[in-house]
């Protein structure tokens, strides 16, 4: 402080700010202008953020007690459930939390699709969101393997086997992924390492997602851009307090599942220790993968199925160009709005069909729903955006119409 005294009064805050502008950054967060008409659908971004934090915190503590070894993994999870103080709570929060994270992210994505949040100038926000989604799926898949129950083992076997569909090198790739000639100890170890790593990669991509978002700010239910300060409110306190209302409701649903239905979203077979000699009758992935699983099974060729399943995710990257209507919000797009809800219905149908045995009518319905999924993106959206007559847009966010 000696040097500072010759000048006026230099506070510690000034001293730090001069060297590392952390406080002006915090001020940016506080003063960040946000459209004032965001509805509760806009809560799910911050909810997804808190879901990620919950997964990381509970996951780190679980990792302190978990043993990633094929002989001890299953019993170490039971040890957590029985002998670690509040271990049952940590594990159920982590397991239910994965599902809750996907709920939040699926609603967040659907909201973006309904209000055209992926459109110019937010295409990169959309892209980085999709990167997060893909990373999440990889992380969740590997996490589900760690308890080393029957579904863990056989789910890992089925999904890693998908890579054997790659022409020529498929078999070698699968053996490389396994670290052996079947899913085993080496597989479990690397999945654990990656399951611990990827959430931090997600954090990095989330930061990029938010940086890109803050360049042009949030989209809003009217889909017209901010024109004056009158259209906005500072993020704090307006949206911090609103986010907390959302957190409250989200946590209530979360807590209900953790305390009263902790195993509802899991599969009973995963309480049977993995056994390479016994194949479960139906191998089903976690619910949040079911729509993509249905696409995979709809194609009567292994390679084709794998390609279509990945296409089902990758097609989302083309969304800003497939839907080239200048009008963002579905509120002013009567036809698009109908097609949006049909699409949501189709995805839910795919999810249902993905959980059914691949026989009889389910096979046909699965193919129909798969065909519609791609038709929506490749044909319906381009045509709707060309021929639809949108309703007149409001002049601004603040205008009353």
Partner 1 sequence: MSLKKAIAFIVFTAFISSASASNVEKPKETEWPFDGIFGYFDKQAIQRGFKVFKEVCSACHSIKYLEYGNLTKVGFSEAEVKTIAAEYNVQDGPNDQGDMFERPARLTDYFHTPFANEQAARAANNGAHPPDLSLIVKAREDGANYIHSLLTGYQDPPEGVEVPDGMHYNPYFPNHNIAMTPPLTAGAVEYTDGTEDSIDQMSKDVVMFLQWVAEPKMEERKILGIKVMLYLFIFTIVFYLAKKKIWSDVK
- 214 catalytic, yes or no? yes
- 70 catalytic, yes or no? no
- 346 catalytic, yes or no? no
Binding mask 131-170 for partner 1 (x = CB under 8 A): --------------------------xx--x---------
The angle formed by the CA atoms of residues 216, 36 and 388, to the nearest 5 degrees, is 70
35 forms bridges with which residues in the sheet?
A: 232
Among 4, 30, 204, 268, which residue sits at the site for partner 1 (rule: CB under 8 A)? 268
**What's the min distance (Å) between Cβ of 243 and partner 1?**
9
**What's the min distance (Å) between Cβ of 293 and partner 1?**
10
279 binds partner 1 (CB under 8 A): yes
Instruction: Considering only the stretches 61-69, 172-180, 219-227, 240-248, report the one whose residues sit in contact with partner 1 under the rule CB under 8 A.
Output: 240-248
Report CA 74 to chain centroid distance, whole Å: 27
Catalytic residue among 108, 119, 195, 242: 242
**What's the min distance (Å) between Cβ of 299 and partner 1?**
7
Binding mask 5-44 for partner 1 (x = CB under 8 A): -------------------------------x--------
- 281 catalytic, yes or no? no
Q: How far is CA 296 from CA 141, 254, 268, 312, 343, in A?
A: 16, 30, 24, 9, 18
- Contact assessment for residue 161 and residue 173, using Cβ atoms and an 8 Å cutoff: no
Instruction: Considering only the stretches 52-60, 114-122, 294-302, 385-393, report the one whose residues sit in contact with partner 1 under the rule CB under 8 A.
Output: 294-302
Among 3, 252, 387, 401, which residue sits at the site for partner 1 (rule: CB under 8 A)? 252
Report CA 104 to chain centroid distance, whole Å: 7
207 binds partner 1 (CB under 8 A): no
Instruction: Considering only the stretches 23-31, 103-111, 137-145, 357-365, report the one whose residues sit in contact with partner 1 under the rule CB under 8 A.
Output: 357-365
What is the spatial distance between Cα 171 and Cα 182, in angstroms, rounded to a whole number? 11
**What's the min distance (Å) between Cβ of 272 and partner 1?**
5
Q: 351-390 burial by CB neighbour count: b if 16+ within 10 A, else e? A: bbbbebeeeeebbebbbebbebbeebbeebbeebbeebeb
Catalytic residue among 218, 274, 329, 385: 218
34 forms bridges with which residues in the sheet?
A: 233
String of DSSP letters for 286-318: -GGGHHHHHHHHHSSSHHHHHHHHHHHHHGGGG
Instruction: Considering only the stretches 44-52, 122-130, 274-282, 387-395, report the one whose residues sit in contact with partner 1 under the rule CB under 8 A.
Output: 274-282
Alpha helices in 166-184 (DSSP H): 170-178
Residue in 266, 394, 268, 239 with CA at minimum distance from that of residue 331: 394
Q: Could you tell me where the beta strands, DSSP code E, fall in 228-286?
A: 232-234
- 242 catalytic, yes or no? yes
- Contact assessment for residue 334 and residue 388, using Cβ atoms and an 8 Å cutoff: yes
What is the spatial distance between Cα 181 and Cα 206, in angstroms, rounded to a whole number? 36
Catalytic residue among 286, 323, 329, 376: 286
Among 63, 272, 315, 335, which residue sits at the site for partner 1 (rule: CB under 8 A)? 272
Catalytic residue among 214, 225, 388, 398: 214
Peptide bond connecting 352 to the previous residue in cis, omega within 30 degrees of 0: no
Q: Which residues participate in catalysis according to the annotation?
A: 214, 218, 242-243, 286
Contact residues for partner 1 (CB under 8 A)? 36, 75, 78, 81-82, 88-89, 92, 157-158, 161, 233, 237-238, 241-242, 244-245, 247-249, 251-252, 255-256, 258-260, 262-263, 268-269, 271-272, 279-283, 296-297, 299-302, 305, 308, 357-359, 363-364, 367, 370-371, 374, 398
């Amino acid at each position: 402080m000696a040097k500072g005294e010759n000048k006026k009064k230099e506070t510690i805050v000034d001293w730090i700010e001069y060297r590392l502008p952390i406080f002006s950054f915090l001020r940016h967060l506080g003063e960040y202008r946000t459209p004032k008409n965001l509805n509760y659908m806009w809560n799910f971004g911050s909810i997804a953020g808190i879901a990620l934090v919950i997964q990381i915190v509970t996951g780190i503590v679980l990792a302190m007690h978990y043993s990633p070894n094929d002989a001890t993994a299953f019993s170490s999870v039971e040890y957590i459930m029985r002998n670690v103080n509040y271990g049952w709570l940590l594990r159920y929060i982590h397991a239910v939390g994965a599902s809750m994270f996907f709920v939040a992210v699926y609603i967040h994505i659907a909201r973006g699709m309904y209000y055209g949040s992926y459109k110019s100038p937010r295409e990169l926000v959309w892209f980085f969101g999709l990167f997060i989604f893909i990373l999440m799926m990889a992380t969740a898949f590997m996490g589900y393997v760690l308890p080393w129950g029957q579904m863990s083992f056989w789910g890992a076997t089925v999904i890693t086997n998908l890579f054997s569909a790659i022409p020529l090198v498929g078999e070698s790739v699968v053996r490389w992924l396994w670290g052996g000639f079947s899913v085993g100890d080496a597989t479990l170890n690397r999945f654990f390492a990656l399951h611990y790593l990827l959430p931090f990669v997600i954090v990095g991509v989330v930061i990029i997602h938010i940086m890109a978002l803050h360049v042009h700010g949030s989209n809003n239910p009217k889909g017209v851009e901010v024109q004056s300060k009158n259209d906005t409110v500072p993020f704090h306190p307006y949206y911090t307090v609103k986010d907390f209302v959302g957190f409250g409701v989200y946590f209530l649903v979360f807590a209900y599942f953790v305390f009263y239905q902790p195993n509802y979203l899991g599969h009973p077979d995963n309480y049977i220790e993995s056994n390479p000699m016994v194949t479960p009758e139906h191998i089903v992935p976690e619910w949040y993968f079911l729509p993509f699983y249905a696409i995979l099974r709809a194609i009567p060729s292994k390679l084709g199925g794998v390609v279509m399943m990945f296409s089902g995710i990758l097609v989302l990257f083309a969304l800003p160009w497939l839907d080239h209507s200048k009008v963002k919000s579905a509120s002013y797009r009567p036809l698009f709005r109908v097609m949006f809800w049909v699409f949501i219905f189709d995805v839910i149908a795919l999810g249902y069909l993905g959980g059914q045995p691949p026989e009889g009518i389910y096979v046909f319905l699965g193919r129909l729903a798969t065909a519609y999924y791609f038709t929506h993106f490749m044909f319906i959206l381009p045509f709707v955006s060309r021929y639809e007559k949108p309703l007149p847009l409001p002049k601004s966010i603040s205008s009353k119409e």
